[in-house]
Structure 1
Amino acid sequence: MNKTLFLGVLLSIIFFSCEKKQEQLSRASVGKINTVSVIINDALWNGEVGDSLRNKLAAPVLGLPQEEPLFTLNQYADKLVEGFVTDSRTLIVIKKDKKTSFEISKDKYASPQTVFHLSGATTDTLLYLLERHTPDMIQIIKKGEIEANQKINRETILNPKIFENKFQIELEVPSTFEYVLQKPRFIWLKKEIVSGSMSLLLYHIPLNAIAAQNPIGSIVKMRDSIGKLYIKGREGQMPMVTENGYAPYLSKIQLAHCLAYESKGTWELKNDFMSGPFINYVIFDKEYNRLMVLEGFCYSPADDKRDVMFELESIIKTVKITKRKNKN
């Protein structure tokens, strides 16, 4: 009888533990896009360690007309590694400890989630860990935020056949966007937001249209010609052009398994006061011997623009080039 009772209690404990573990794993992470929870005591947060973290993770986003941080950092005391804080999609835990350590945990308290643990005996050690690992942390956080945004957008999307038939691409565009203009090699989509609007442009041009010796000059020329053709203000003499006050930021990336140019800058309506940020991708699509161009831009004069532009970037980065059928 005692053995039976002991076995029953043991099975109950095992069942309860498994159920508890499953409950923890099934918790959905929460948080606004591009927001990071930082678990750190006040002394470290208000000193050199906090300054270093802010200088790196809250550095200004490139290509925006006003200064906005890369990520919004929310600090919590180190005793708060429990409750709602552990539901955050991204957690950074920094503390002084005898052991020097940098660890990355996935889905520790909720899912999807990334938790960074940094520990060291001295302030100099923590500063060294931040200096060494912050670039990778930024890439990991941004990748997770893009995936979170894409998951939200994926709940209801526009008919993908339109993009496939016209451009031979797959693209997940939320159904909150509407078609403004369609031409044989061009599409303009727009979504109204509280303070203005956000737009997506899709078009393709010849493969040799971007000069290797001056890619940013070629991209500006390309953008301005498209603006002159299709994106205009109230009057015909108000086309959208690239602001000429400074050159857009340019970098090479991989997109849709192809080499691509990513450029970020500011647009304006010529002879008008409207302006805003843009992000442009030129994909070297050798499958169809062309340059496939996807661009996002917004007009939101009264509000911050970081998260609006990030949503456009997340949409564009769902792009995939459709393989040719019966290709020899």
Structure 2
Amino acid sequence: MVRESLKILLTSCFLLLFLASCTLGGGKNGKLLKSTGQPYEVVLEGDTDSIVTKILTEEVPALPQPEPLCRLIQVKKGKIHGSYLLVRTRIVVNIPAAEFSVGLSRNENASPQTVIRISARSPQQLREKLNPEKLRQLVDEAELEHLASIISTNPSKQNREMQQLVKKNFGISMNIPAEMQASKKAKNFIWISNNASSGMKNLILMKMKEVKSEKRAEEVNSEERRVKKTDAFSAQEKQQIDSMLRTNMPGETDSMYMVIPVLAKRGLWEMKGDAMGGPYVMQRIRRGKTGDEIIIIGFVYAPEMKKKILIKQLEAAISTIK
């Protein structure tokens, strides 16, 4: 009987120790639990006047159909508990407060986690002081960082063969998702795709000859930065990109080919002579030492589904470029 009682007592002690080690928040010595939540899912606490709600549910630009930036889980002020504390992105609105402030903290109850606390004396002050663009940017950057880390921290989710191909031909390191197995290579051009029948994701890398001008010559000769990144394109550069896409991205017939009407950081592509199209994101890298320009384009073709997460996944992959 004494032996059985000791067993029960020891079992209870081990259970209490285990539960103590898994408490929410972890403490200084506790190990944080892994955060939860779908991409762009945000727990929003205390937004009784829906001011922050309207900001975070605005449409994402450069998508063919309306899609809000975030999917919100609304919680009353002071009522957040349990699994909601573990969600990767949380925003807490505190009204009334002594003064307006926006604070950001990391890994309070889980890891990785971003918590944004917004305080204001009144709803009117919140409307006047809060910068909607910066708030959306904070959330977008946190979620893109998470999407990029899914690939970066897990070698099994990377396509090493494609990464080596990109490194060899373009001299850049980039984490390419393992699902993107299909590829096409030409001179100064690589197309990588998951070749999916639903939710097709693609990456294009192309190397261009830099168009010289007095301004560009100054940038090339500058020793301040060896690698330049800009968004503006000249007419000659657009002509080069159009030519490479027409040559390497044909449609079902010779009269069909991929075009990007307006070159920008993000926008819409289309297939000339066909009804195909969708969103794209673009990164431009100029190497000051060699004069080469590398264009990286991520684009989605998914007429049957929403495209925000698909294009954000490609944007996250492009953000890993070194």
TM-score grouping bracket, smaller chain normalisation: 0.7 to 0.9
Q: Does 1:301 align with 2:303?
A: yes
The structure where strand makes up a greater share of residues is 1
Match of 1:242 among 260, 264, 268: 260
User: Contact 2:199–2:310 at 8 Å: present in 1 too?
Assistant: no
Residue 80 of structure 1: CA displacement? 3.0
Match of 1:30 among 36, 48, 55: 36
Residue 123 of structure 1: CA displacement? 1.6
Whole-angstrom distance in 2 between the partners of 1:216 and 1:184: 22
Whole-angstrom distance in 1 between the partners of 2:53 and 2:62: 19
1:278 to 1:16, Cα distance in 2 relative to 1, 3 A = closer
Q: Does 1:270 align with 2:276?
A: no
Q: Which residue of 2 is the match for residue 223 of structure 1?
A: 241
1:217 to 1:40, Cα distance in 2 relative to 1, 3 A = farther
Once the two structures are superposed, residues 171-225 of structure 1 have per-residue CA deviations (whole angstroms, 9 ceiling, x without a partner) of 1101110232112311110014462411100110112179979726455433321
User: Contact 1:210–1:219 at 8 Å: present in 2 too?
Assistant: no
Superposed CA RMSD in Å reads 2.8
Whole-angstrom distance in 2 between the partners of 1:14 and 1:269: 61
User: Contact 2:89–2:115 at 8 Å: present in 1 too?
Assistant: yes
Match of 1:183 among 181, 186, 201: 186
Once the two structures are superposed, residues 288-327 of structure 1 have per-residue CA deviations (whole angstroms, 9 ceiling, x without a partner) of 321011001111001111111111111111111xxxxxxx
Q: Read off the aligned partner of 1:143 and give its amino acid letter.
A: E
Q: Does 1:103 align with 2:103?
A: yes
What stretches of structure 1 of length at least 5 have no aligned partner?
Answer: 1-12, 251-262, 321-328
Q: Which residue of 1 is the match for residue 8 of structure 2?
A: none
TM-score w.r.t. the length of structure 1 is 0.77
Q: Which residue of 2 is the match for residue 8 of structure 1?
A: none
1:15 to 1:228, Cα distance in 2 relative to 1, 3 A = closer
TM-score w.r.t. the length of structure 2 is 0.78
Residue 122 of structure 1: CA displacement? 1.9
Residue 19 of structure 1: CA displacement? 7.2
Q: Read off the aligned partner of 2:283 and give its amino acid letter.
A: Y
Q: Which residue of 1 is the match for residue 169 of structure 2?
A: 166
The alignment of Structure 1 onto Structure 2 pairs a total of residues equal to 283
Q: Read off the aligned partner of 1:286 and give its amino acid letter.
A: G
3-state SS of the aligned residue for 1:225? helix
Once the two structures are superposed, residues 3-30 of structure 1 have per-residue CA deviations (whole angstroms, 9 ceiling, x without a partner) of xxxxxxxxxx999977743586421111
Residue 58 of structure 1: CA displacement? 2.3
What stretches of structure 2 of length at least 5 have no aligned partner?
Answer: 1-15, 217-231
User: Contact 2:21–2:30 at 8 Å: present in 1 too?
Assistant: no
Residue 73 of structure 1: CA displacement? 2.5
Whole-angstrom distance in 2 between the partners of 1:230 and 1:139: 34
Whole-angstrom distance in 2 between the partners of 1:193 and 1:210: 42
Once the two structures are superposed, residues 38-95 of structure 1 have per-residue CA deviations (whole angstroms, 9 ceiling, x without a partner) of 0125xx2xx3xx1x32443222222211222222222222243111111111111113
Once the two structures are superposed, residues 132-172 of structure 1 have per-residue CA deviations (whole angstroms, 9 ceiling, x without a partner) of xx433333322221221112123221223222211111011
Give me the identity figure in percent: 24
1:33 to 1:212, Cα distance in 2 relative to 1, 3 A = farther
Whole-angstrom distance in 2 between the partners of 1:305 and 1:212: 38
Q: Does 1:318 align with 2:316?
A: no
Whole-angstrom distance in 1 between the partners of 2:212 and 2:53: 40
